Structure 1
Amino acid sequence: MDRPDLPLNALRVFEVAMRQGSFTKAAMELRVTQAAVSHQIARLEDLLGTTLFLRTSQGLVPTDEGRLLFPVLEHGFDAMARVLDRLGGRRDIEVLKVGVNTTFAIGWLMPRLASFREAFPEIDLRISTNNNRVEILREGLDMAIRFGTGGWTGHDTVPLMEAPLTPLCAPELAARLEHPADLGQIVLLRSYRSAEWPGWFAATGTPCPPVTGPVFDSSVALAELAASGAGAALLPVTMFERYVDQGRLMQPFCATVSAGQYYLGWPSDRPTTQAMNTFSRWLSGHRINEV
């Protein structure tokens, strides 16, 4: 592929400005003046014929073009840094950026991170959480863990673990529940996946009562509200074992329903790195050894 004269200095300044979120902080990292940063960004915008940042009263806001360019540059500069470290004879610390569904992060991953870092000190694992909505390339990530059916267009995926859903509620509410139909007497807290409660009642052979409780996009928020006594939430009990062990939540019925499972995914057209392969094997092996 023919490459035009790449404005490497301007591209580096842009990458730092995006990562830092301001020209002032970028100037501090690069040890130049803020005016120099602004000049390089203006030069790059002129060369590309597009605007990369909007200067607003709330601060620096990247445009869609800027968001598209950033992950490509960040990945490229990280790759160059790894090779330069090898050539320089320094110990190779590989940065691995993973977006993780908040429920999985809190309920399973975070308590085990110390063992991963102890086993693989050469990997700088950086976790960012989300409510199951993530764009790997746009967000500058290497991989992501999310809940679903595994149909992730343009990505390779590895199934990690199932997380069947079951009603959980505070102990004082659980004491009032003898049969699934009794759930119709209390508030049923809902996620944005509207078919979950009807699916669970169908699995028990019980007509589903009207489901009119508040809707949340976070299972952690649902669990906290259920623990406060506000109602029952349909949750993956394996992710909230700590709540059950602490007596904050109880599982009144054994019946469960599957709405998917957790998957690790990454872009199909991106070569996997050693750190990505190590993290994938660790996740799969760690879970297999526990079940």
Structure 2
Amino acid sequence: MSALPPLLWLQAFEAAARTLSFTAAGRELGVTQAAISQRIRLLEDRLGQKLFVRHPRSLTLTPAGQAWLPSILDGFARIGEGTREVFGSTPTRSVTLRTTPVIQLHWLASRLLAFHRAHPAIAVRLVSAIWSDEFGPEGADIEIRYGHAGWSGMEALSLGEESLLPVCAPAVARGLEVPADLAGLTLLHAAGFAVGWSSWLEQAGVTGIEEQCPALTCDNQAITLALASQGGGVALVHRRLFEDRDDLVMPFDLSVPTDEKFWLVRPERSQRQDEASLLWSWLCREVDADSD
């Protein structure tokens, strides 16, 4: 046969073979006994062999049915396993949250863990995105984005004003007293931000020093901070993402403001999943607590 029988027929066979009752199978699948009987009959016609012996008040499997049942059970088990791996064990109570790796690591992780401890029955699926075109209303209940807001069809709450400041490993910081000391050190750049090293060096009064500094450019801020923590150079970081780190220090008390911000975002729609609304409210309270 070139095509598998319809899934509804296979479900009917699996349930009836397991319970040895069309009535019990119908009850399990939410249909009538007659519907199960019809699906089994259509399946037998498609296969060209009987799967059940019908007795007055019971069923037994034919040799063909007995031989086929293990493959069907294994197939449904594999489908169930794959579904749990991709969508979680409780897909009807899952919430998808999408944001950048650096936000996940340095702002969201502790807050998400607290939410999980308070609501362990809600499965949160965390999805990473880096570039702006990886965000969007499809596939996520909530997002944390970076930019100027104004996204069509989206409700947005600012996490607060932002500024960028240089950070590095403590051993590197010991050789830095003034911004001019950056000469010869590697500057770690994160692509995609409106404000970067050029703006900070200009404000520090050492604009030309960038020509004396080797550069490493990464596609996300999480990597620049990881390199900086290992003594690989000096990175720029958003102040709110630096506050909870103990592996980096700020060699200069000078930051550059940026009009781009992090935003808590969700689609504007009248009907929302209760679990997603609960996580949204939780994160909004965390934002309010940060501003106190």
Shared fold (TM-score, shorter chain, > 0.5)? yes
Displacement of 1:144: 1.1
State the partner residue of 1:143: 142
Displacement of 1:26: 8.1
State the partner residue of 1:168: 167
SS of match in other structure, 2:117: helix
Q: Judging changes above 3 Å, is the alpha-carbon distance between structure 1 residues 157 and 26 closer, same or farther for their aligned structure 2 residues?
A: farther
Letter in structure 2 aligned against 1:184: A
Displacement of 1:107: 0.4
Displacement of 1:170: 1.6
How much is the aligned-residue C-alpha RMSD, in angstroms?
3.1
State the partner residue of 2:238: 236
State the partner residue of 2:204: 204
State the partner residue of 2:273: 273
Matched, 1:286 2:278: no
Displacement of 1:29: 1.5
Q: In the aligned structure 1, how far is the partner of 2:262 from the partner of 2:75?
A: 37
Preserved contact between residue 136 and residue 142 of structure 1 (Cα < 8 Å): no
Matched, 1:28 2:78: yes
Letter in structure 1 aligned against 2:78: M
TM-score (norm 1): 0.61
CA offsets 1:166-209 (integer angstroms, 9 cap, x no match): 10112222112121222233111111136411222233344253
Q: 1:215 aligns with which of 217, 225, 248?
A: 217
Q: In the aligned structure 2, how far is the partner of 1:265 from the partner of 1:174?
A: 37
Q: In the aligned structure 2, how far is the partner of 1:167 from the partner of 1:279?
A: 33
Letter in structure 1 aligned against 2:272: T
SS of match in other structure, 1:253: coil
Q: Judging changes above 3 Å, is the alpha-carbon distance between structure 1 residues 206 and 9 closer, same or farther for their aligned structure 2 residues?
A: farther
CA offsets 1:108-136 (integer angstroms, 9 cap, x no match): 21122232123334532221122254334
Taking the TM superposition and a 5 Å limit, the aligned residue runs for 1:67-106 are: 94-106=93-105
**Consecutive unaligned residues in structure 1, runs of 5 or more:** 1-7, 11-23, 32-73, 83-93
SS of match in other structure, 1:103: helix
Q: In the aligned structure 1, how far is the partner of 2:76 from the partner of 2:159?
A: 38
Letter in structure 2 aligned against 1:223: L
Q: In the aligned structure 1, how far is the partner of 2:75 from the partner of 2:239?
A: 43
Displacement of 1:222: 0.4
Preserved contact between residue 132 and residue 147 of structure 1 (Cα < 8 Å): no
SS of match in other structure, 1:177: coil
Q: Judging changes above 3 Å, is the alpha-carbon distance between structure 1 residues 137 and 170 closer, same or farther for their aligned structure 2 residues?
A: same
Letter in structure 2 aligned against 1:158: L
Q: Judging changes above 3 Å, is the alpha-carbon distance between structure 1 residues 270 and 135 closer, same or farther for their aligned structure 2 residues?
A: farther
Which runs of at least 4 in structure 1 moved beyond 4 Å after TM superposition? 24-27
Percent identity over the alignment? 26
Q: In the aligned structure 1, how far is the partner of 2:114 from the partner of 2:187?
A: 37
Q: Judging changes above 3 Å, is the alpha-carbon distance between structure 1 residues 272 and 184 closer, same or farther for their aligned structure 2 residues?
A: farther
Letter in structure 2 aligned against 1:209: I
Letter in structure 1 aligned against 2:286: H
State the partner residue of 2:119: 120
Q: Judging changes above 3 Å, is the alpha-carbon distance between structure 1 residues 137 and 152 closer, same or farther for their aligned structure 2 residues?
A: closer
TM-score (norm 2): 0.61
Letter in structure 1 aligned against 2:107: W
Size of the aligned set, in residue pairs, is 209
Q: In the aligned structure 1, how far is the partner of 2:156 from the partner of 2:76?
A: 35
Q: In the aligned structure 1, how far is the partner of 2:156 from the partner of 2:224?
A: 27
Preserved contact between residue 163 and residue 238 of structure 1 (Cα < 8 Å): yes
Q: Judging changes above 3 Å, is the alpha-carbon distance between structure 1 residues 25 and 145 closer, same or farther for their aligned structure 2 residues?
A: farther
Letter in structure 2 aligned against 1:105: Q
Matched, 1:180 2:179: yes
Q: In the aligned structure 2, how far is the partner of 1:155 from the partner of 1:9?
A: 38
Preserved contact between residue 96 and residue 123 of structure 1 (Cα < 8 Å): yes
Preserved contact between residue 157 and residue 263 of structure 2 (Cα < 8 Å): yes
Letter in structure 2 aligned against 1:198: S
Q: In the aligned structure 1, how far is the partner of 2:7 from the partner of 2:267?
A: 28
Which has more radius of gyration? 2
Preserved contact between residue 163 and residue 239 of structure 1 (Cα < 8 Å): no
